[in-house]
């Protein structure tokens, strides 16, 4: 009985949802593809069968730190004979562990796919009774996956070499295309193998409160972040770049918050130390790039904030999945600004240089490096290019040309640059093959970015969108745990005012008259009446719609365009030139035959700027009150309320909790804690 085996080896009384069916399937001798989110217990799906099967289970894992943590947990907590082989071991340790595996003293052996290059390891596999091959992070085998690794392609040869071994491929994030590619690349259902069972389960996380907030400026993002930190306390703040991590870290530091940061520019030792501090609960917050998280399993993470839009749904879901693993409520908020999309598009260009960029670089290298190798930084090469000045694109193009055997590269001692030399002859067929592969990858990466943008804009339950994307058949009827279904941010979907309705008509008419020629940034500039260079080059300052919303900010116009996109009144073409067009639904709205269900910005009804009408005596009294409350709570004054919030209160002079909630920087938690005191103070002085 699998239940008794579960108690015997792991001490658990029952399986988590979805685990038992996978375990029974593999013990019955069938291969399996298992897609379960991080934290759902998918490791047990292969660990339990490994203990029940007679021979050795080989576990393929991409990260040294991750396999080390898993082996230590198995050995320490469950007394299970598991070990790993990787580059952190010396020769004597490696030999001893391989001998243990050869003599049957090990049930689970963790290795990276690169280990298959080692002839000694290949001899070991030939000498052991290999019962199962578990491929962790199996999306790495697929070029459709978000973290493709060429070494994973070796695994398909191993599955053919050991037809008697069951194969289990496991990943936290895989769409239908990725699952199909995993099956193909691992040769499952071929060479005498039965077609694998596919399990997609566990993507519903009802304890996660998922929301997208539109932020016009970085100051708006910081306000949202500070409110979330105050309300939820323990969490991860993800940024798209190292520079952005450092900026956010500095902003928090200026407010007296000593928050550690984590990014790829740090040494391995510093990154490991920082991650251990977070895991050991020495710190409760971290600002990080997406390099932080693999192997992080802290149950009490109460929030995950995305300061920038991530590059794919896979990355986004994997990252928010680090919140609320203990099953208690957790907050996941994406701070969206359309300008941030440019960062992801820069990454897209950098990791997917165009055919012209690659060929131009090849010609440049052949002119300069036919006889003598040359070591120059990518930035220097990029300055000489016409098709792309993106150094990241140059680095990627160099790798492609090396794979096509058009160039040779060698490290240079004491330099980060590599010496490059052109080959005398170019294999045109091999180069064409590499270029075709690169173009296919570019299309796949663009589709991933388009998918996350669709997620942000679509007015459909966030949880349902995630399930649909990953192919989880679980039905959701009104989740009450996302901003679409439960209005978590309090934005409201009330009937539009007359001014807002008129603005909608102006926007839709402008998009219609521009006839699908321009993207959202240019359309926003037209409506604003911008004097930008692009407007004048296109002659749009003479367009009849120019300046129709001149009193609005570009951020508000962009947000309104996003709302209309999500409601289906507008459509956006996918690809590198995402122009907008009006839809049939949008035309019905213009004709008065339909009403959009959107949260429209209302610039004219906002709280006035803090400096307007603020009474000095009231501000002074509010600051004295704040200092008293800070001392009582042993907090910094800004942690009670920010100066801008106090000034806004002194300007607006709210007389109710509802009026207080309209003040920037005050949410339900603040109102519950301080609302009555603030209203009494305003009443006594105002």
DSSP reduced 3-state for 32? strand
Residue 613 C-beta-side C-alpha neighbours within 13 Å: 11
| pLDDT given at position 218 | 86
Q: Which residue has the higher pLDDT, 610 or 478?
A: 478
Where do the DSSP E strands lie in 405-473? 407-411, 418-422
Is the pLDDT at 4 greater than 70, yes or no?
yes
Main-chain phi, psi angles of 458, to 5 degrees? -75, 130
Residues above pLDDT 90, as percent of the chain: 58
| pLDDT given at position 524 | 93
Give residue-wise pLDDT tens across range 568-609.
899 887 656 788 999 998 999 999 998 887 777 766 444 444
Q: How far apart are CA 350 and CA 346, in angstroms?
A: 6
SS in 3 state form for 214-246?
ECCCHHHHHHHHHHHHHHHCCEEEECCCHHHHH
| pLDDT given at position 23 | 97
| pLDDT given at position 610 | 42
CA 15 to centroid of chain Cα atoms: 29
Q: Domains of the chain (ranges plus CATH)?
A: 2-200 (3.40.50.300), 208-336+458-486 (3.40.50.300), 357-444 (1.10.10.1420), 498-605 (1.10.10.10), 616-685 (1.10.150.80)
Is the pLDDT at 613 greater than 60, yes or no?
no
For 260-297, letters b (16+ CB in 10 Å) and e give bbbbeebeeeebeebbeebeeeeebbbbbbbebbbbbe
Mean pLDDT calculated for residue range 52-67: 91
Sign of CA dihedral 520, 343, 438, 396: positive
CA 666 to centroid of chain Cα atoms: 28
Mean residue pLDDT of the chain comes to 89
Two tokens, residue 232: 């939820």
630: confidence class by pLDDT, cuts 50, 70, 90: confident
Give residue-wise pLDDT tens across range 255-300.
889 899 999 889 988 988 998 899 999 999 999 998 887 667 788 9
Sign of CA dihedral 142, 144, 145, 146: positive
| pLDDT given at position 515 | 86
Is the pLDDT at 402 greater than 90, yes or no?
yes
Of 343, 571, 554, which is closest to residue 457 (Cα–Cα)?
571
632: confidence class by pLDDT, cuts 50, 70, 90: confident
DSSP reduced 3-state for 305? strand
- Among 210-214, 455-459, 473-477, the least confident range: 473-477
In this structure, what is the dihedral angle of CA atoms 628, 632, 636, 640, given to the nearest 10 degrees?
Answer: -70
- Rounded to 10°, the helix 44-52/2-10 angle is 100
Of 147, 178, 141, 173, which is closest to residue 159 (Cα–Cα)?
141
Give residue-wise pLDDT tens across range 639-666.
788 777 888 888 888 888 778 877 877 7
Is the pLDDT at 86 greater than 70, yes or no?
yes
Of 527, 589, 574, which is closest to residue 555 (Cα–Cα)?
527
| pLDDT given at position 309 | 95
Q: Give me the count of residues in the chain.
A: 686
Mean pLDDT calculated for residue range 198-206: 89
Task: Give yes or no for a contact between 289 and 238, defined as CB atoms under 8 angstroms apart.
Answer: yes
The contacts of residue 66 (CB under 8 Å, 6+ apart) are 294, 295
The contacts of residue 103 (CB under 8 Å, 6+ apart) are none
| pLDDT given at position 668 | 64
Give residue-wise pLDDT tens across range 132-152.
999 999 998 987 766 777 788
Is 0.75 topped by the overall pTM? no
| pLDDT given at position 611 | 45
Is the pLDDT at 195 greater than 50, yes or no?
yes
Indicate left, alpha or beta for 405 from its phi (over 0: left) and psi (-120 to 50: alpha): left
Q: How far apart are CA 433 and CA 452, in angstroms?
A: 30
Q: Which residue has the higher pLDDT, 617 or 433?
A: 433
Mean pLDDT calculated for residue range 616-642: 82
Residues above pLDDT 70, as percent of the chain: 95
Is the pLDDT at 251 greater than 50, yes or no?
yes
Q: How far apart are CA 206 and CA 226, in angstroms?
A: 24
The contacts of residue 476 (CB under 8 Å, 6+ apart) are 204, 461, 463, 464, 467
Is the pLDDT at 208 greater than 70, yes or no?
yes
| pLDDT given at position 663 | 80
- Among 254-263, 312-321, 668-677, the least confident range: 668-677
Mean pLDDT calculated for residue range 367-373: 91
105: confidence class by pLDDT, cuts 50, 70, 90: very high
686: confidence class by pLDDT, cuts 50, 70, 90: low
| pLDDT given at position 492 | 46
Q: How far apart are CA 429 and CA 436, in angstroms?
A: 11
In this structure, what is the dihedral angle of CA atoms 416, 421, 426, 431, given to the nearest 10 degrees?
Answer: 10
């Amino acid at each position: 009985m699998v239940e008794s085996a579960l108690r015997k080896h792991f001490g658990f009384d029952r399986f988590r949802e979805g685990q038992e069916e996978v375990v029974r399937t593999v013990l019955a001798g069938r291969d399996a593809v298992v897609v379960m989110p991080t934290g759902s217990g998918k490791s047990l799906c292969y660990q339990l069968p490994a203990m029940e099967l007679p021979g050795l289970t080989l576990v393929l894992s991409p990260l040294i730190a991750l396999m080390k943590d898993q082996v230590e947990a198995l050995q320490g907590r469950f007394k299970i004979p598991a070990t790993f082989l990787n580059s952190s071991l010396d020769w004597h340790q490696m030999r001893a562990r391989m001998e243990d595996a050869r003599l049957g003293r090990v049930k689970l052996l963790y290795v990276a796919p690169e280990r298959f290059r080692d002839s000694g390891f290949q001899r070991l596999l030939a000498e052991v009774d290999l019962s199962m091959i578990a491929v962790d992070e199996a999306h790495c085998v697929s070029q459709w996956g978000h973290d493709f690794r060429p070494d994973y392609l070796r695994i398909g040869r191993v599955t053919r070499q050991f037809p008697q071994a069951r194969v289990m491929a496991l990943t936290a994030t895989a769409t239908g295309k990725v699952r199909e590619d995993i099956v193909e690349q691992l040769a499952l259902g071929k060479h005498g193998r039965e077609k694998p069972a596919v399990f997609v389960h566990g993507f519903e996380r009802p304890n996660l409160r998922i929301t997208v907030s539109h932020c016009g400026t970085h100051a708006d993002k910081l306000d949202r972040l500070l409110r979330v930190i105050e309300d939820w306390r323990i969490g991860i703040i993800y940024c798209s770049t190292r520079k952005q991590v450092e900026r956010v870290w500095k902003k928090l530091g200026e407010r007296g918050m000593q928050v550690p940061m984590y990014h790829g520019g740090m040494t391995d030792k510093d990154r490991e130390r920082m991650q251990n501090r977070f895991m050991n609960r020495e710190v409760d917050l971290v600002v990080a790039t997406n390099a932080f998280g693999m192997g992080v399993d802290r149950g009490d993470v109460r929030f995950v904030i995305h300061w920038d839009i991530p590059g794919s749904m896979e990355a986004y879901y994997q990252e928010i999945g680090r919140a609320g693993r203990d099953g208690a409520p957790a907050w996941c908020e994406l701070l969206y600004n359309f300008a941030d999309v440019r960062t992801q598009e820069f990454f897209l260009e950098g990791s997917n240089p165009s055919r012209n960029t690659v060929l131009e670089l090849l010609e440049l290298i052949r002119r300069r490096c036919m006889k003598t190798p040359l070591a120059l930084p990518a930035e220097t090469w990029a300055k000489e290019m016409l098709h792309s000045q993106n150094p990241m694109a140059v680095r990627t193009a160099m790798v492609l040309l090396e794979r096509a055997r058009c160039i040779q590269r060698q490290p240079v001692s004491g330099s980060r640059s590599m010496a490059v030399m052109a080959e005398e002859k170019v294999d045109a067929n091999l180069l064409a093959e590499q270029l075709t592969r690169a173009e296919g990858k570019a299309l796949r990466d663009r589709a991933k970015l388009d998918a996350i943008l669709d997620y942000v804009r679509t007015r459909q339950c966030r949880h349902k969108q995630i399930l649909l994307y990953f192919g989880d058949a679980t039905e959701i009827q009104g989740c009450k745990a996302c901003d679409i279904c439960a209005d978590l941010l309090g934005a409201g979907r009330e009937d539009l005012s007359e001014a807002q309705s008129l603005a909608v008509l102006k926007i839709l008419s402008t998009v219609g008259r521009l006839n699908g020629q321009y993207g959202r940034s240019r359309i926003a500039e037209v409506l604003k009446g911008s004097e930008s260079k692009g407007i004048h080059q296109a002659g749009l300052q003479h367009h009849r719609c120019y300046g129709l919303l001149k009193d609005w900010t570009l951020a508000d116009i962009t947000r309104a365009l996003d709302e209309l996109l999500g409601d289906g009144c507008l459509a956006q073409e996918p690809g590198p030139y995402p122009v907008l067009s009006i839809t049939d639904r949008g035309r019905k709205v213009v004709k008065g035959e339909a009403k959009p269900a959107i949260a429209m910005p209302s610039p004219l009804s906002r709280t006035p700027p803090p400096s307007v009408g603020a009474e000095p005596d009231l501000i002074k009294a509010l600051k004295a009150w704040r200092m008293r409350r800070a001392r009582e709570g042993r907090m910094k004054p800004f942690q009670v309320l920010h100066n801008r919030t106090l000034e806004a209160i002194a300007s607006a002079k709210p007389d109710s909790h509802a009026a207080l909630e309209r003040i920037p920087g005050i949410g339900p938690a603040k109102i519950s804690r301080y609302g009555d005191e603030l209203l009494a103070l305003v009443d006594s002085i105002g």
